[in-house]
Chains A and B, each alone.
Chain A
Amino acid sequence: MIDRDELLHVARLARLALHEDELETTAAELSSILGHVAAIDQLDLDGVEPTAHIGDVSDSLRADQPRPSLAREVALAPAPAVRDDGFLVPSPQGE
């Protein structure tokens, strides 16, 4: 079972504002997900290579050839605020 401190730590890292009355249910849900994955620990996996990827891994690289970029208006269209041709964001504080 994931404890309260651990939950608050993870929530802070993920920028989640959890209310006091959500802590218990969230901890239970997270624990259940982790428990599900932990089932794998019960298997004997000695000598089994970790699977890094399930697709075809040969020839996974791209030639260094430029492709057209987006027009600036298109790139900036989803921005909540724009200034001087850039994405205007709140300044990061205390990180």
Chain B
Amino acid sequence: MAGAELEPVIGLEIHVQLRTATKMFCGCALGFGEPPNTRTCPVCLGLPGALPVANAEAIHYGLMIGMALESELAPISTFHRKNYFYPDLPKGYQISQFDLPLCSGGKLGEVNIHRVHIEEDAAKLNHAGASGRIEGADSSIVDFNRGGTPLAEIVTEPELGSAEQAGEWLRLLRTTLRTLGVSDVNMEEGSLRCDANISLRPVGTDQLGTKTELKNMNSFRFIERGIRAEVDRQRAIIEAGETVTQETLHFDPKSESITSLRSKEEAHDYRYFPEPDLPPVMITGEMLARASAALPELPAARELRYIEALSLSPESARLFAWRAELADYFDAVCAADKSLDRQLAANWVTELQGRLGEEEAEDSKVTAAALAQLAAMVASSQINQGGAKQVLDQLVAAGGDPAAIVADQGLEAVGGADELAPIVAAALEANPELTERLRGGDMKPIGVIIGEVMKQTRGRADGKEVTALVREQLGLS
């Protein structure tokens, strides 16, 4: 295989905590940040004789997810026991699904979905030792508040070709789940967690190499960096003529290093068998109708509406629709000034987001009303692009009122023949040689003239207007 160009093949497994009032199989209330072990009962502590009963709302949310992902919904779905020993799992097994998951197949964006199933979350292990990770600590403290929280596990087909594509797709999934209202999708609080299966193969083939599983990455940035690091690691192994070992890995974002978590093969021998304490879930027409009625406008529909009803460019429409927070902010900008050209508003929202990075626009110091006002001032030529970008920089840094910033700092556009014509004339006069070339029809020196005018106006002139004035003053058509 050495020598051949290699490409990554990435599949994602996403665990999302469902936003129900109670746990998956018992009536304990869900919460975040409650005092430890105050949300437990015999069922979620795994005490002998306790019997689980499935939460109808979790099944409802599961059906909504399946519908949003265009999955096939099972008429009858069953639970299985997934057996392994770990202190965060008091029963010695996790109730999950095996051969009859709630949802099979499906598609979101360009990526096919393998399946979606429902299961219970494990408890939280806090390590009593000095090390933050499991290894090296002598003892751990278990908090069962989280144990039994309903989870939907969403598994993609191995179809993603890069870390960036994986990150972008995950944002679309997160936006979809957030729009559905089935989860808080908060990666920092662990309500959305992502594992990635990664392998390499020679470009253009469909053979599958040995895959490794990168566990529990909890931010978009770490996911992309983790996948990139693992792809590089595998590439180095293969190019050295060695073979990749199938194992579960942990990515440490601080050191950018990858370490093995478990490699014992029996760790994956879960001995699934049907959960005898839970009858199969029969999906009725009534349940399907209720889930279908609860579906909001999903990203694909929002993208289409932005293109068709608001005449946004396909790029802007997708950018916003795949990122609901940004789309909501864009909607707020449009609502603040209904006469604003929508694409202009979109361009300024994009400009703002570019300055914010991971921070959400609605959490920034720039209010939607301020951005609408800034865009309106550009539209009416009160300021030009360069001036508006300076104002935006200041809004991002300190917030405030765009009109006041413009007035304070004299950033108004220099426009109109009265104001600009003498400056253009002076620039031409100062460069007689270039002026001759322009007069002869060679427009190359125009950039120098525009630069001169910008210098004189501290960037407040409009390049197009300067060009028009040059043509006018030199009698060019």
Chain A residues close to B by CB (< 8 Å): 9, 12-13, 15, 52-53, 55-58, 60-67, 69-70, 72, 75-76, 78, 83-95
Given A67-B41, A75-B144, A91-B140, A61-B56 contact (CB < 8 Å): yes
Chain B residues closer than 8 Å to A91, beta-carbon distance: 127-129, 134, 137-140
Given the complex of chains A and B, what is the CA–CA distance between A34 and B223 in angstroms?
A: 45
Binding site for A on B (CB under 8 A): 20-22, 26-29, 35-42, 45, 47, 53-59, 76, 78, 83, 85-87, 125-129, 134-135, 137-144, 262, 264, 266-267, 269, 271, 274, 276, 278-282
What is the distance, in angstroms, from B143's C-beta to the closest C-beta of chain A?
Answer: 5
Known contacts A66-B28, A89-B87, A92-B87; is-contact A61 B281 (Cβ 8 Å): yes
> Of A57, A70, A84, A94, which contacts B141 at CB under 8 A?
A84
Chain B binding surface, main DSSP class: loop
**How close is A64's CB to chain B, nearest CB, in angstroms?**
4
- Please indicate the chain A residues that have their CB under 8 angstroms from the CB of B26 in the complex: 67
- Chain A hits for B269, CB < 8 A: 9, 13
Is B37 touching A76 in the complex (CB atoms < 8 A)?
Answer: yes
Q: How far is the CB of B82 from chain A (nearest CB, A)?
A: 12
Instruction: Contact check, A60 vs B85: say whether CB atoms are below 8 A apart.
Output: no
Residue in B closest to A55 when the chains form the complex, CB atoms: B279
Which 3 interchain pairs have the tightest Cβ spacing? A67-B27, A86-B141, A64-B57
**Closest residue of B by beta carbon distance from A74:** B40
27 contacts between A and B (CB under 8 A): A52-B78, A53-B280, A58-B282, A60-B282, A64-B20, A64-B21, A64-B22, A65-B27, A66-B22, A66-B28, A66-B29, A67-B22, A67-B26, A67-B28, A75-B40, A75-B45, A78-B47, A83-B141, A84-B128, A84-B141, A86-B37, A87-B37, A88-B139, A90-B87, A90-B138, A91-B129, A91-B137
- Compute how far the CA of A13 lies from the CA of B82 in the bound complex, rounded to whole angstroms: 12
Contact of B38 among A15, A60, A66, A69 (CB under 8 A): A69
**Do the beta carbons of B56 and A63 come within 8 Å of each other?**
yes
Question: How many A-B Cβ pairs are below 8 Å?
Answer: 139
A89→B29 CA distance, assembly (Å): 25
Residue from B28, B55, B128 in contact with A83 in the complex, judged by beta carbons closer than 8 Å: B128
Give every chain B residue within 8 A of A95 (Cβ-Cβ). Answer: 85-86, 262, 264, 267
List of A residues within 8 angstroms of B28 by Cβ: 66-67, 69
Q: What is the bound-complex CA distance between A9 and B267, given in angstroms?
A: 11
Bound CA–CA A12/B83 (angstroms): 13
Asked if residues B262 and A94 are in contact (CB atoms below 8 Å), the reply is yes
A82 nearest in chain B by CB position: B141
Query: Shortest CB–CB separation between residue B269 and chain A, in angstroms?
Result: 6
A64 touches B55 (CB 8 A): yes
With a cutoff of 8 Å between Cβ atoms, the chain B residues found around residue A93 in the complex are 135
In the bound complex, what is the Cα–Cα distance between A86 and B126 (angstroms)? 9
Complex CA gap A94/B264 in Å reads 8
A90 to B135 alpha-carbon distance, docked (Å): 11
Please state if B266 and A72 are interface contacts (CB–CB under 8 Å). no
| Distance between Cα atoms of A83 and B137 in the complex (Å) | 15
Query: Are B137 and A69 within 8 A (Cβ)?
Result: no
- A-chain residues with CB within 8 Å of residue B127 when the two chains form the complex: 91
Known pairs A53-B279, A92-B86 / 15 extra A-B pairs, C-beta < 8 Å: A9-B266, A57-B280, A61-B59, A64-B20, A65-B27, A66-B21, A67-B27, A78-B47, A83-B139, A83-B141, A84-B126, A86-B37, A89-B140, A91-B137, A92-B125
- Let me know if B128 and A88 touch, CB within 8 A: yes
Interface centre among A57, A84, A91 (most CB of B within 10 A): A91
Contact, CB under 8 Å: B85 / A15: yes
Closest to B136 in A: A91
What residue of chain B has the Cβ atom nearest to residue A61's Cβ? B56
Partner of A61, one of B41, B54, B262: B54
Q: How far is the CA of A56 from the CA of B55 in the complex (A)?
A: 17
Q: Of B54, B76, B78, B87, which one neighbours A62 at CB under 8 angstroms?
A: B54
A10 nearest CB across to chain B (Å)? 9
A57 — nearest CB in chain B belongs to which residue?
B279
With the chains together, A87 CA to B281 CA distance in Å? Answer: 33
Query: B residues within 8 A CB of A60?
Result: 53-54, 278-282
- Residue ID in chain A nearest B54 by CB atoms: A61
Across the interface, name the chain B residue whose C-beta is closest to A60. Answer: B279
In the complex, A87 Cα to B45 Cα: how many Å? 11
The complex places the Cα of A52 from the Cα of B267 at a distance, in Å, of 27
Complexed CA–CA distance, A92 and B87 (Å)? 7
Inter-chain contacts of B276 with A (CB < 8 A): 53
Q: How far is the CA of A95 from the CA of B135 in the complex (A)?
A: 10
Chain A residues within 8 Å of B134, by CB: 91-92
User: Within 8 Å CB of A69, what residues of B?
Assistant: 28-29, 38-41
A52 touches B279 (CB 8 A): yes
Contact in complex: A85, B139 (CB < 8 Å): no
